[in-house]
Each structure stands twice: as C-alpha cells, then as structure tokens.
Chains A and B, each alone.
Chain A
Amino acid sequence: MSATTDAQSLEPAAVRRRWRPRIDGRKRTSNWLSRVFFLATVSAVALLVLLLGVLFYRGWDWLSLDLLTQQYSRNAEGSGFQAAILGSIWLVAGAGILSFVIGVGTAIFLEEYAPRGPLTNFLQTNISNLSGVPSVVYGLLGLALFVEFMNIGRVLLAGALTMGLLILPIVIIASQEAIRNVPLGLRQAAYGVGATRWQVVRHHVLPAAMPGILTGTILAVSRAIGETAPLIVVGASAIIFRNPSGFFSDYTAMPVQIYQWTARPQEEFKDLAAAAIIVLMIVLLSMNGIAIYLRQRLGKDRW
C-alpha cells in the first residue's frame, strides 16, 4: 500500500462500520482537550494581566513623584515611601553581598573541591531543605539570633542578615549550576599547564561561570525585595519618617510599607498601596530584565 493511497477507502466496510466512529471520536476528544489545555495555560497569563490591570486601575491616580520623594504621613494624600525604597536598597545590598560571598564559596567547594561522597550528599540535602523553609521561620531565626542573642537590635543590619540567610540556598544552587556548566576541557587545559586547583578556579572556572552566577544572584535578590514576613518579624517598622542612615538605623522596606497601607481600612490607603506595588513591580521587572540581559549577553556561544 503506497503512502498516497487513501487508507480509509481501502477499509473493508465492516471494519469501517465497527471502528471508524470510535477512532473519529477519540480524535475529536483529543482535539477538544488540546484546546482546554491551551486555555489553562493562557489562563495563567490572563491572571497576570488581570493582576496588573487591578493594580493600575486602583493605583494609577496615586502614581506620582510624591511616592518617591515624600515620607510616610498620616494622610494618604501626598504620602510617599522614600524611606522604604532606600531601606529596600540597603537591605538588598547587604543581603546580596552576604549571600554572594558565602553562596559562591559554598558552590565552589561543592563543585570543585569536595570529593563526591556522604559529606557532599549531606551538604546538598541540607541546602535543598533550607530552600524549602518558610520565610517567616527565617524571621524567627533572625529575631532570636541577631536581634536578641547577638543584641544587634531592630536595625537594618538584622534585616539584611536575615534576608541574606533566606536567599543563600538560592544563590548556592544557581552558582553550582553555573559552575557545573563550565566544560571540563577548560579545567583540564589549565591543570595541564601546571595551574593549581585554586588557580584553575580563580582564573578559569569562575570567570566562565560568572554570568550564570550573577543571574542567579540577581534573581535571588529580587526575591528578597518582595519578602515581607521575615522583615516584619525582625522588626522593620512601617512608621518611619526618615531615610535609613546606615546598617544600624531604624528602617522600613517597600513591601512592609505596602502591607501596612493595605491593612488599613481606608480605601485611599489601599489605592496608595496599589501605586506603591507598581513601583515595586517596576523595580522587580527591571532587575529581572538585567538578569535576562546578562544571561543572553555574557553567556551566549562561549563554547
């Protein structure tokens, strides 16, 4: 039977009567459900659009420069959250540096130094379990450890350290992946010309893995920007009238301020919160954009 022959016309009539309807029915179900699956996927996108729509609808009129230049005030009108924006920047800088140094160090140890065995398995399991700990539990850790036990107090540093611990597992896992993707040949070539293990890592593996590591760190940091619960637990206060002056000053952060405004009964504060969320989302989106840019720009066609 050649491929161009119409298979259906060659079917004996009995076969056609018996099986054709079933086959057609199965095909119909398949086609029909493929549309359902498509709609389910699109609904996720639609939800994102709806979410943004609600935010813009409520927050558009409140989106003004006041938000960026003014401080917390009792009236929604003219209220801003400059202290919160600066607080978030300080927090993210502190948390980012802490988790980058320790996270990349850990990733190098696990990928380049540690022998495969029970020790690495244990560390790896521990890290993946840490990444599943609820953020509010990190808050409880930060409160007991940094604020009370080390007696740092309810200052920015305590918040930054807590956030650093929170995003550490994400940075480690992303860095490990980036390091693992560096081809073995690069290491072998370096060892072949007599480099020590550290020289191989420092001059060859790390530079090659850096785009991936940076991307992972930026994504982790953008997770930290949106985290609210641990900050409230370690003592970020929503009612702050001046900008943070350093790691030992009182502080607030964007999501904390948003939470406080949202939880108030007055509708105008909820609208103000929507405008603040738009600012937060713009910051997040631009960070994600930078991460994607880095991944594409630095990571393309290198080997």
Chain B
Amino acid sequence: MTVRDIPASESGGRPPLDLSGSRNRSVSETAIGVILFLFAAFSVVTTIGIVVILLYEAALFFQDIALPKFLFGNTWTALFQDPEFGVLPLVRGTLMTTLIALFVAVPLGLMSAIYLSEYASPRMRSYLKPSLELLAGVPTIVYGYFALTFITPQLLQPLFPGVFQPLNAASAGIAMGIMILPMMASLSEDALRGVPNSLREAAYGLGATKLETSVRVVLPAAVSGIIAAFILSMSRAVGETMIVALASGARPANGWSPVEGMQTMTGYIMQVFTGDVVYGSVQFRSLYAVGLLLFLMTLAMNILSQWVARRFRKDYQ
C-alpha cells in the first residue's frame, strides 16, 4: 500500500484530514521567536549603552580638558584646588600592580596547569581542582583585606624592615596575582589538555622524559591557548578595583617604586565615589574619561586574546 493523499470521494465523503495546524499556533510560534530575539538583542543594547555613556560623558570632559593633555599629562591632581588631569600616573599604577600580579600568577599558574594536566593522578586532580575553583570564588574585597592586613604588615614589612609603606603597590599586586592565579591555571590547563595524546606518545616513543614531553612538546602545542589565558588574566588584573582601592593607596605615583602607594585607574574611580563628588562637575566627568580608557584597554586585551586563540590554534585531527 502506498502512502498518498486520500481524495474525499474515497474517504466516504469526509473532508481530508488537515494537518497544517491552527493559525494561532503559527502566530504564537512567530511571536515567541521575536520575543527571544529581543532578549538576545538586550546584550547588544547593554554594550551600546556602555559605549554611548562612556563616550558622551568623556566627550563633555574633553571639552574642558584637551585630549592630549589627558593622555600624555604626567600630573594627576583631580581632587585638588587647581586640578590637573594627566592620566599617566594612574596608568603607571595600573601597569605596576598588573605586572606584579603577573609575576606571581604566571609561573605558579603555568606550573599548576602542567601538573594538573600532565602529572596529576585523577584522584589528586579531584582534590586540587575544586580547591582552585574555591580560590577563584573568593570575592576580590577579601583579597583586598588580605593585602592590607596580612601581606603588608605580616609579610613584606617584617621581611624588609623600613622599606614598605603601609599602602603599597607590591601588596596589591601580590594579592591580585593570587586572585588571577586560578584563572591562569585553569585556562592554561584546558589548553594543555586539548593537545591530543598522540603527540605525547610520539615524544615518549622517541625516548623523551615526562618533563621533556610536557615542556617541549605539549606546552608549545598549546601555546595559543596559554597566551590567550595570559592576556585574559592580565585584563582581569587591569580591571580589578577593590584590592587596589584598599591596599595600593590614593596617591598617584610619580615614579615606578612598588614599595610606595600607587593609585590605579580603578582606584581613582573608587576614591571619588567614597568621597563627595558633585554630579556634572569636571571631576565627575573625569571618571568617565578614566572609565573609557579602562574599557578600551580591557576590550583590546579581550579581543586580542580571542584573536590569538583563533589565529594560532593548531587543529590536530
């Protein structure tokens, strides 16, 4: 028997069965699709909101303060009587704390990643991995507390008496390094585990030791993912606020000394909001200029990390 439409004449005069569904059904299906699209569009609206607001308020700021003066000026005295808005000291503070954080997080994070991916037994992994995740879940304010009340007075000052000021860039940087360590470790580990086993087997087959296999075969094969992890961790450190607000001080730095307080871009934003600032004043708008710069820096790093991960990824199939 073949499947075919049954004409009305053959089915005893009844009309053929209509399987096209009710019209309401197709209307509501379309409506749901549109609603879901609107939800998805919401995140685009958020991005546009961030960009428009930062650009708008910063543009008002740059009417008062010339852009080159802001970008290349070396004095930041925004909250003083005769304010000067040269952002370089804040950028220097951000760079310094970020660099220290990377000094802590990159070696530790990479070694942890190699251990977890190449050496650890499944049992060991099942203990260590969750504790790293726990470390990642600690709020940044807690790291700030740790930097201010432990790293500086209990660690740095006793080790180097008379060197470190109570508020210094080093303690903030170290705490930030601990903060980004789990991110660096777990993203790098993902990259290492993505390397197919055939590469490891080939290395062992040629007589390489475990270390040589890990460091000279697996690590180079995963380098795109590791660089991406590095850049993402750096971007996290640049945008980190509470640690530097608590531990790194509120004085824009003139030099590069990590034993002294160095205000960062995010630290400045916090300082203004914990004091009194008049809405619409030039100080208030300077927040958005600093915020815009911060946004552009982190955005550039995020895009770069995606590009590196895509461009230099090797497909082992």
Contact = CB atoms under 8 A, between A and B. Distances in A.
B50 A133 contact: yes
Contacts of B257: none
B132 A44 contact: yes
Contacts of B266: 134, 136, 229
A255 B139 contact: yes
B182 to A, nearest CB: 7
Interface string A99-123: 0011001101110011000000001
Interface stretch (A64-72, A178-186, A241-249, A274-282): A274-282
A106 B232 CA distance: 24
Contacts of B270: 136, 229, 232
B128 A45 contact: yes
A38 interface: yes
A281 B141 CA distance: 11
Residue among B111, B140, B178 with max Cβ neighbours from chain A (10 Å)? B111
Interface residues of A, number: 81
Contacts of A152: none
B258 interface: no
B149 interface: yes
A137 interface: yes
A139 B229 CA distance: 26
Contacts, number: 242
Contacts of A132: 232, 235, 239, 298-299, 301-302
Contact of A41 (B116, B140, B209): B116
A20 interface: no
A134 B241 contact: yes
B287 interface: yes
A138 B246 CA distance: 20
B50 A137 contact: yes
Interface stretch (A73-81, A89-97, A140-148, A204-212): A140-148
B241 A123 contact: no
Given A40-B108, A47-B178, A233-B273, A262 B149 contact: yes
Interface of A: 26-27, 29-30, 33-34, 36-38, 40-45, 47-48, 51, 54-55, 58, 101-102, 105-106, 108-110, 113-114, 123, 125-130, 132-141, 144-145, 148, 165, 168-169, 172, 196-198, 219, 222-223, 225-229, 232-233, 255, 258-259, 262-263, 270, 273-274, 277, 280-281, 284-285, 288
21 contacts: A26-B212, A34-B119, A41-B116, A41-B128, A105-B35, A109-B33, A129-B302, A130-B47, A132-B232, A132-B302, A134-B238, A134-B240, A134-B295, A136-B266, A136-B270, A138-B50, A168-B46, A198-B32, A255-B141, A262-B141, A262-B149
Given A47-B178, A105-B40, A134-B294, 5 more contacts: A102-B42, A134-B295, A136-B291, A259-B246, A285-B134
For the complex of A and B, list the 10 residue pairs with the smallest distance between their C-beta atoms, beginning with the closest.
Answer: A226-B139, A134-B239, A105-B39, A40-B111, A30-B211, A37-B115, A229-B241, A132-B302, A109-B36, A30-B209
